[in-house]
Amino acid sequence: MPFVSRSDGAIDGVFEQMQEGRAEEYLAADDPAIVAHANALPKVSSVSARQFRLMLRRSGLLDQVKAWVAQQDGETQDAFEYSGTFVKDSPMMAAGFAAMGFTAQQIEAFFAAAASL
């Protein structure tokens, strides 16, 4: 008997018992929305520098990104060179992905693939 909570219409939590004020909507266990939620890949918000650079290399983007970084301010250059973690929603990431012409879906896919390395 799953009870669900939602955020912006999407299921963000599944509970065996009703959660007063939070998860009061009941759905059958085989409801397509429950199945999709259970099978959804977790959202990736950051990856290690190793994962990020390997994904750039495997995508054929490493040289292009290095060229873009070389044109940025010193802080951006230092962040690219010395960060141990790359955070998807950081301003540097947003600027870099925009410069590369990535869509939001492509960014999600890039980070999901990088996280698997």
**Whole-angstrom distance, CA of residue 80 vs CA of residue 86:** 8
Helix (H, G, I), strand (E, B) or coil at 18: coil
Continuous segment of H or E residues that includes residue 86: strand 85-87
Give the model's pLDDT for residue 1.
64
**Residue 50 to residues 70, 96, 106, Cα–Cα distance (Å):** 19, 17, 19
Both tokens of 21, joined, read 């004020």
Note whether 45 and 89 are within 8 A (CB): yes
Torsion angle, CA of 76/80/83/87, rounded to 10 degrees? 80
Per-residue pLDDT of the chain (117 residues; tens, 9 = 90+): 699 999 988 899 999 999 999 999 999 999 999 999 888 877 899 999 999 999 999 999 999 999 999 999 999 999 999 999 999 999 999 999 999 999 999 999 999 999 999
